[in-house]
Amino acid sequence: MNNVLAVNAGSSSLKFQLIHMPEEEVVAKGVVERIGLTDSIFTIEAKGEKDKTVGDIPNHGIAVKKLLDALISKDVVKSFDEIHAVGHRVVHGGEYFSDSVLITDDVIAKIEETSELAPLHNPANLTGIRAFKEILPNVPMVAVFDTAFHQTMPESSYLYSLPYEYYKKYGIRKYGFHGTSHKYVTERAAEILDVPIENLRLISCHIGNGASITAVQGGKSIDTSMGFTPLAGVTMGTRSGDVDPALIPYIMEKTGKTADEVINVLNKESGMLALSGFSSDLRDIEAQADTNPRAELALNVFAERIHKYIGSYAAKMSGVDAIIFTAGVGENSPTVREKILNGLEFMGVYWDPRRNDVRGKEHLINYPHSPVKVLVIPTNEEVMIARDTIRLAQA
**Number of separate helices (H) and strands (E) present in the chain:** 14, 14
Could you say which of ligand UVW, ligand ADP, Mg ion, none residue 281 binds, taking C-beta under 5 to 8 angstroms by partner kind? ligand ADP
Question: Three-state DSSP class for 322?
Answer: strand
Residue 301 is labelled as binding a ligand: no
125 part of the interface to ligand ADP, by CB under 6 A: no
Closest to 8 measured CA to CA, from 183, 142, 104: 142
Residue 377 is labelled as binding a ligand: no
Nearer to ligand ADP, 87 or 237 (CB): 237
Using CB atoms, what's the residue nearest to ligand ADP? 328
The answer to whether the beta carbons of residues 189 and 211 sit under 8 Å apart is: no
Alpha-carbon separation of residue 72 from 7, 77, 135 (angstroms): 16, 6, 13
Question: Residue 5 forms beta bridges with which residues?
Answer: 18, 86
Distance in angstroms between the alpha carbons of the first and the last residue of the chain:
12
208 part of the interface to Mg ion, by CB under 5 A: yes
333 part of the interface to ligand ADP, by CB under 6 A: yes
Task: Provide the minimum distance between the beta carbon of 208 and Mg ion in the complex, in angstroms, as a whole number.
Answer: 5
Evaluated on CA atoms 75, 80, 83, 86, the torsion sign reads: positive
As annotated, the active-site residues are: 146
Q: Which listed range, 50-58, 191-199, 208-216, 307-315, lies at the site for ligand UVW (CB under 6 A)?
A: 208-216
10 part of the interface to Mg ion, by CB under 5 A: yes
Nearer to Mg ion, 15 or 84 (CB): 15
Sheet with 201-207: strands ordered across: 220-224, 211-217, 201-207, 322-326, 373-376, 363-364
**77-144-388 Cα angle (round to 5):** 70
Q: Which amino acid is at 261?
A: E
281 part of the interface to ligand UVW, by CB under 6 A: no
123 part of the interface to Mg ion, by CB under 5 A: no
Alpha-carbon separation of residue 357 from 120, 171, 273, 334 (angstroms): 32, 44, 26, 6
Q: x/- contact string, 342-361, with ligand ADP (CB under 6 A)?
A: -----------------x--
50 part of the interface to ligand ADP, by CB under 6 A: no
Q: Which listed range, 98-106, 205-213, 301-309, 335-343, lies at the site for ligand UVW (CB under 6 A)?
A: 205-213
Q: Which of 176, 210, 241, 271 binds ligand ADP (CB under 6 A)?
A: 210
Q: Which residues bind ligand ADP (CB under 6 A)?
A: 10-13, 208-210, 237, 281-283, 286, 327-329, 332-333, 359
